[in-house]
Amino acid sequence: MDTDPGILCFQHCGPMNIFCFELPSLCPVCGAPLATVNFRLLPFRVPYPFVRATQHPCSIVIKPTTGDFLNDYYNSKDLHIGVTDSKGMVVEFDRGGLQRADVHLWKQCLVLDGAAGPWSDHWDSTLSHVARQDCWTAERYNEADFNCYTFVLTFLRSLRYGRLSEAADNRTEFCEKFIIPRTTAAGKYISLFRKLRQSQNQCYVHKMQHPSLGANSQVAITAR
């Protein structure tokens, strides 16, 4: 099932971005009928930041520990991190120990980074080697200091794959370089989605603060 709600963006009667799920027949700002010739910026689909883990082999992926990003995630909520192999299957470490994940639970996740095609064999062999270590058991799992994050960072250090592995030497550095930028960008989309869902006419108008930047510049800032 596709989880992309398909948010649209356009400009009509002024320097403001209008977001919606479906194009309205009348402009929500001026009330005039929408016609192609009157658009300041033609409608386009806002890039959807989330992916299915199975479509991104040899990657590090994250999702909320419970629920999904669009409906359940807030900054205070915990995230769960896993590794996909060369076939897109997710390997995760949680209270149940090390296991292959139910891919249906990873249909709305963020990709932190991954390895290029030539690295797939090394990626799989390293993942297999780390997975065979006898420490990844349900008994050893500890929510605070021996968890999914521990497993992924151990894998990345063993992988020796450029900056991804270098950052894995420090939990805080890895979070700052790979996790926070992805969740911050995704948070803007989540906020937009929830504003639209809560609006009575399912339209949200965002006034541009710097019209001199031009329409394309403001769209890039809003839709990141």
Structure-model confidence comparison of residues 38 and 1, the more confident one: 38
Q: What share of the chain is helix, strand, coil (3-state, %, to 5)?
A: 40, 25, 40
pLDDT of residue 117: 81
Burial zone of 3 (CB within 10 Å; 0-12 exposed, 13-18 middle, 19+ buried) = middle
pLDDT of residue 210: 52
| pLDDT above 50 for 105 | yes
State the pLDDT confidence band at 216, using cuts at 50, 70 and 90: very low
pLDDT of residue 69: 95
**Shortest CA distance to 203 belongs to which of 2, 43, 40, 4?**
43
Contact indicator for 62, 79 with CB cutoff of 8 Å: yes
State the pLDDT confidence band at 200, using cuts at 50, 70 and 90: confident
Distance of CA 176 to the CA centre of its chain: 15
pLDDT digits (tens, 9 = 90+) for 43-97: 999 999 999 999 999 999 999 999 999 999 988 789 999 999 999 999 999 999 9
pTM of the model: 0.85
Nearest 5°: CA angle at 194, between 69 and 186?
A: 40
